[in-house]
Amino acid sequence: MSIPRPLAAVFGLLALSVAVSAQAQETLRIGYQKSSTLITLLKTQGTLEKALKADNIDVSWHEFPSGLPLLEALNVGNVDISADVADTVPIFAQAAQAKLTYFAQEAPSPSAQAIVVRKDSPIEQLADLKGKKIAVTKAAGTHYLLIAALNKAGLAFADIEPAYLSPADGRAAFENNKVDAWVTWEPFLTSVQRQLPTRTLADGAGLASYKRYYLTGTPYATAHPQVLKVVYAQLEQAGQWVKTHPQEAAKVLGPLWGNLDVATVEAANTHRSYQVQPVTVDQLGEQQKIADAFFRAGLLPRAVDAKDVQTWKP
Q: Model confidence at 66, in pLDDT bands (50, 70, 90)?
A: confident
Same domain, 93 and 232: yes
Region 134-154 average pLDDT = 96
Q: How far apart are CA 312 and CA 277, in angstroms?
A: 11
Residues 101 and 249 both lie in one domain: yes
Mean pLDDT of 133-152: 96
- At residue 5, the pLDDT reads 58
Question: Domain of 300: which CATH number?
Answer: 3.40.190.10
Per-residue pLDDT, 167 = 92
Of 159, 175, 201, the residue that ends a domain is: 201
pLDDT number for residue 13: 46
| pLDDT > 60? residue 126 | yes
- Mapped onto helix, strand or coil, the DSSP state of residue 300 is coil
Q: Within this chain, do residues 239 and 90 fall inside the same structural domain, yes or no?
A: yes
pLDDT attached to residue 14: 46
Are 196 and 217 in a shared domain?
no
How would DSSP label each residue in 117-174?
EETT-S--SGGGGTT-EEEE-TTSHHHHHHHHHHHHTT--GGGSEEEE--HHHHHHHH
Same domain, 92 and 223: yes
Q: If pLDDT is split at 50, 70 and 90, which confidence band does 154 have? A: very high
The share of the chain scoring above pLDDT 90, in percent, equals 88
Please check whether residues 57 and 138 belong to one and the same domain: no
DSSP letter, residue 283: G
Query: 18 or 289: whose pLDDT is higher?
Result: 289
Instruction: Say yes or no to pLDDT of 111 above 90.
Output: yes
Q: 174-232 pLDDT, tens per residue? A: 999 999 999 999 999 999 999 999 999 999 999 999 999 999 999 999 999 999 999 99
Let me know whether 90 and 157 are in one domain: no
User: Could you give the CA distance from residue 66 to residue 228 in angstroms, rounded to a whole number?
Assistant: 22
* pLDDT computed for residue 15 by the predictor: 46
Segment 42-71 mean pLDDT: 94
Average confidence (pLDDT) over 274-294:
96
Domain-located, residue 214: yes
Judgement on whether residues 226 and 90 belong to the same structural domain of the protein: yes
Q: How far apart are CA 203 and CA 114, in angstroms?
A: 4
Q: Within a domain: residue 16?
A: no
Question: Is it the case that residue 115 has pLDDT exceeding 80?
Answer: yes
Residue 180 near residue 117, CB atoms below 8 Å: yes
Q: What is the mean pLDDT of residues 141-165?
A: 97
* Reported confidence tier of residue 11, pLDDT bands at 50, 70, 90: very low
> Phi and psi of 260, rounded to 5°?
-70, 145
Q: Residues 72, 143: one domain? A: no
Q: Is residue 45 part of a domain?
A: yes
pLDDT over 70 for what percent of the chain? 92
What order do you get walking across the sheet with 161-164 strand by strand? 161-164, 133-136, 181-185, 113-118, 198-203
Please say if the pLDDT value at position 279 is more than 60.
yes
Domain end: 160, 179, 201, which one? 201
Contacts of 179 (CB under 8 A, 6+ apart): 133, 134, 135, 163, 170, 173
For residues 155 and 300, membership in a common domain is answered with: no
CA distance to 69, 85, 104, 172, 304, per residue, from 72 (Å): 5, 12, 19, 26, 17
pLDDT for residue 25:
78
303 inside domain: yes
**pLDDT (tens digit, 9 = 90+) per residue, 12-25?**
444 444 444 444 67
At 35 the pLDDT is 82
Whether residue 249 lies inside any domain: the answer is yes
Same domain, residue pair 98 and 120: no
Same domain assignment for residues 103 and 214? yes
Q: Which helix (H) or strand (E) holds 168?
A: helix 167-175
Q: Of 201, 218, 240, at which residue does a domain stop?
A: 201
Q: Which domain holds residue 121?
A: 111-201
Is the bond preceding 162 in cis, omega lying within 30 degrees of 0? no
The tally of domains found in the chain comes to: 2
